[in-house]
Chains A and B, each alone.
Chain A
């Protein structure tokens, strides 16, 4: 796992849901460490499936998905879960938070399941690191921290989710339409905070969205319809 291996490497990947035609057929995709990539794709183009494959929750029928140089197919399910917990942080479109846990508890959740994530916290003070991340994302006020997560605005919830995804310095941060539930003004603010924190931690960012207006903020913009040979003309046009 030297630093010149790509954070995410995909080769000759083919995936089909049971009983359906292949939804993904990607000859090659490589994302370097620390790179911030915008992956554009309309809904139904297989974005979520691709993220499932990168996260090691799904296994391709053919080809390889390498996470930090490790071919996920060579790992058992438990090993893939462990690797995902250690190395990947996720932010989804919405409903990212466990409703019955507090703000800080939600952020500290990865440490519960991944000792490696906890071990990477400088100084070992998990709560302090959680508060630092929340503060960096503009959620540091004690009044906010005391609130149930269900009472936060969607924008605030997404920032808590981002703090959790960044907690324990995962190598890769995968964001699946994290801004689509936000209004236009908060969208760019959220993205800048996310990118600043990724840069500070040296995390690779794979940002998936259909909103092309955000593209210019990234190092590289990719189109899933271009990468994916299984893409149908209909979905390409959408």
Chain B
């Protein structure tokens, strides 16, 4: 019970203000394909940019179907939020070092979770976060605007190589290119102490993350994640997740630090 409460508090710290998103911004999304009865046709064909590539632009929400666990306000958590390896037979292939770190984070009641400390949670965990994100696809650049902490991520698609010695960061350095209708994004340059999910699966500076983004129709975004991190895992592993379009709304402002009072209470065991 104590542990459950702590987890609820942690999720609550970063999620309480989010479940009720989109209460005030009602502005019609332009260009929605509609069925005969006037409802948005989420199965309409994939929109495309003038150069013929699929257009990933839109506001997206993590699909919560099949998820386990509930957030502070009672909403179901998306499938990979708590455990990014939930789809993998036998779970994540932790290295001995990775398992020890994971276990110590669990044993500590996740008190060092970046989510609880108002720090960025990194690109993997953000894909299954319950707050929406807006993708802007531009020539040479894809930007993801996250509602969570009002932060953004850049994915360079102008053909630049990945830097040889990137500055370690929460989001890493991302470069993407199209393979047919799939945007393939490689990211390196992570810090050594990242969390790949809520439970605390590690991600280190040795990681290369490959994301394969595909918009199979108007209303869905499929993302395949491959993590190759020889420090934390014995083999590369791949998981899939799905996001759904959110229409006629906008991102809200979400500032974790504002009137933040929970941190001193995060003391572990």
Asked if A pairs with B, the answer is no
